[in-house]
Structure 1
Amino acid sequence: MLIGLTVFALAAGLLWIALGFPSAATSRLDIIKVALTVVAGVGGVVALVVAYRKQRISESAETRERVKLLTDRFGAACNQIGNESPTVRLAGIYALAALADEWPEQRQVCIDVLCSYLRIPYEPDLDSEWFHDAESEVRLTITSLISQHLRDGARVSWRGHDFDLVRAVLRSADFAGIHITSGTFFLSLARFHRGWISFDGMVVDGGEVWFGGATFTGARVTFDDSEFRKGRVQFKGADFASGEVSFRGARFLGAEVDLSEAQITAMPVFDDGDKPGLKLPPGNAVAATPIVGRER
């Protein structure tokens, strides 16, 4: 009220002075009307400012509440992933993947946690049926969730993020159909021990995929019908000791696929024909005459 009266007095005084100190009642009445209009305008502006501040405060409170809720969910999912029971760990993995879909600001953090689980030292139970045990199922679930978000038509895409699977131990993994457009997909020093790891139909359209120092021992790792368009796929120091690594039907369309410094005992299988962008070890007789075949 005090501010309103002050504005009214100032407006009326300035108008009275500007009009040359009029003495007519009508002029004074007009001055009062104009001054009241000015007060109303100032009051409207003040009301808008107050309403805007309230809206900002309300939005900030909602944002803090949302972040707190998502943070609590993140902590609960991480606790589940650390549980001794495989079923509880699976529940935590699905919860963390769902959280990554809803929380784009921290999606990379959720992805990092999922990838870090695969980097935990693990010795597969080679005596289990189909070389598959409970821990292998947990790891297969993580790789499947990652793949689902990297394929065409994914409801929420995780493309462009970084996937650090350095030193991961994988017996079964389904990376079939993933589409790498940017970011990094590191499987350096990974161990592919028994089982089947599928990269069939993978498309590399940018970014970097690294298998440097990876060990292929007794596993079946397939890149059949994959397309290497852009980017780089590096096998520097990889050890193809045994098992089968297959590139049947793969198309090398411009991306650099480098096996030139790999240690090859069991030669990967290729279709015959030109392979632009593919570097094989020099002087390797087996590499110079690739094995031809489409049947598995």
Structure 2
Amino acid sequence: MDSGLLWSVKRHIGLVVLIGLAVFASSAVLLWSALGFPSTASSRLDIIKVALTVVAGVGGVVALVVAYRKQRISESAETRELTKLRNERFGAACNQIGNESPAVRLAGIYALAALADEWTAQRQVCIDVLCAYLRIPYEPELESEWYLDAESEVRLAITSVISRHLRDGAPVSWQGHDFDLVRAVLRSADFSGVQMSSGKFLLSLARFPAGWISFDGMVVSGGEVWFGGASFDGARVTFDGAEFRAGRMRFEGAEFNGGEVSFRGTRFTGGEVDLSEAVISVAPVFDDGEKPGLKLP
């Protein structure tokens, strides 16, 4: 053992002994004076017993304080270690998402989503990274069968991960967070069944070249959903069975060029859905009946 450390331990032990003796002496003197300076051996023995009890009590309090401090130090160390581990996992997942291999990128997506589930304090940061990937420009292979070029599959996986966390009954809910998909490029996306009660879902200036984008069964009961300037080029966009109870959904400057826009079975019970400033070359499909809260061009 280091001599300096040994000397430090000895000094601490000596200090504790001195404090104990001081407490004992003080207690004995106070008790002796309080009892009128008794001279009998039995009285003096009782005073010594009480003084020792006081010393033991003080020692117990000191031991509790020391134990509490050790626990706090241990918890603090565990918290730092856990934060370090999570930061390492975050860095590893980001590196995977930036890999050239689509399979490795997919692994990074699921690793980052799992981390977001655990790391409440940095969940929004993890979500921001997933959304940032979708904002990276790319040109999909439009001639590929079933919209299955590799990059489109990676992006579809991200939208599916987001959607699963925004549906009712999700083991870990991401509702209430913001999703910045401004200028995202999505050949196909599955946002079916998502629940928007608060937060922002931004798809402004996004591009949807061909493919199918599903918002079927979506429920908007608060928050904001923006499609301003989005471009749906020959894509099939469906809001079938969706419900708009509150909040706002706006399409200023959005362009629906060919394809199909469907609101079959959609209920407009509140909130605002504004298509009045959208550029629509093919009329949206609605069920017959009144559509309160809906603004059409």
Give the C-alpha shift of residue 237 in structure 1.
1.8
For the residue of structure 2 that corresponds to 1:185, the secondary structure is: strand
| Contact kept? 2:181, 2:206, Cα under 8 Å | yes
Q: Which residue is 1:81 aligned to?
A: 97
CA distance in 1, matches of 2:236, 2:85: 43
CA distance in 1, matches of 2:291, 2:103: 45
Question: Is 2:246 the counterpart of 1:230?
Answer: yes
Specify the code of the residue in structure 2 equivalent to 1:139: R
Question: Is 2:278 the counterpart of 1:262?
Answer: yes
Specify the code of the residue in structure 1 equivalent to 2:289: G
Q: Which residue is 2:69 aligned to?
A: 53
* 2:198 maps to which of 182, 204, 214: 182
CA distance in 1, matches of 2:35, 2:147: 98
Q: Which residue is 2:9 aligned to?
A: none
CA distance in 2, matches of 1:226, 1:92: 31
Q: Which residue is 2:5 aligned to?
A: none
Give the C-alpha shift of residue 131 in structure 1.
3.5
Structure-to-structure mapping, 1:1-296, within 5 angstroms: 1-281=17-297
| Contact kept? 2:234, 2:256, Cα under 8 Å | no
For the residue of structure 1 that corresponds to 2:166, the secondary structure is: coil
For the residue of structure 1 that corresponds to 2:208, the secondary structure is: strand
- C-alpha distance after superposition, 1:231-276 (max 9, x if no partner): 1111122122221111111000102111122222222211121111
Give the C-alpha shift of residue 128 in structure 1.
1.8
CA distance in 1, matches of 2:138, 2:20: 75
CA distance in 2, matches of 1:83, 1:227: 39
- 5+ unaligned residues in a row in structure 2: which ranges? 1-16
Q: Which residue is 1:294 aligned to?
A: none
RMSD, aligned α-carbons: 1.1
Between 254-263 and 22-31, the greater mean CA deviation after superposition: 22-31
CA distance in 1, matches of 2:289, 2:59: 81
Give the C-alpha shift of residue 182 in structure 1.
1.0
Give the C-alpha shift of residue 33 in structure 1.
1.3
Give the C-alpha shift of residue 25 in structure 1.
2.1
- 5+ unaligned residues in a row in structure 1: which ranges? 282-296
Give the C-alpha shift of residue 206 in structure 1.
1.1
Query: Identity across aligned pairs (percent)?
Result: 80
Number of aligned residue pairs: give it: 281
For the residue of structure 2 that corresponds to 1:206, the secondary structure is: strand
Give the C-alpha shift of residue 16 in structure 1.
1.5
Between 164-173 and 97-106, the greater mean CA deviation after superposition: 97-106
Give the C-alpha shift of residue 84 in structure 1.
0.7
CA distance in 1, matches of 2:50, 2:265: 84
Q: TM-score scaled by structure 1?
A: 0.92
Give the C-alpha shift of residue 180 in structure 1.
1.1
Give the C-alpha shift of residue 222 in structure 1.
0.3
For the residue of structure 2 that corresponds to 1:257, the secondary structure is: strand
Runs of 4+ more than 6 Å apart: none
Specify the code of the residue in structure 2 equivalent to 1:240: F
Q: TM-score scaled by structure 2?
A: 0.92
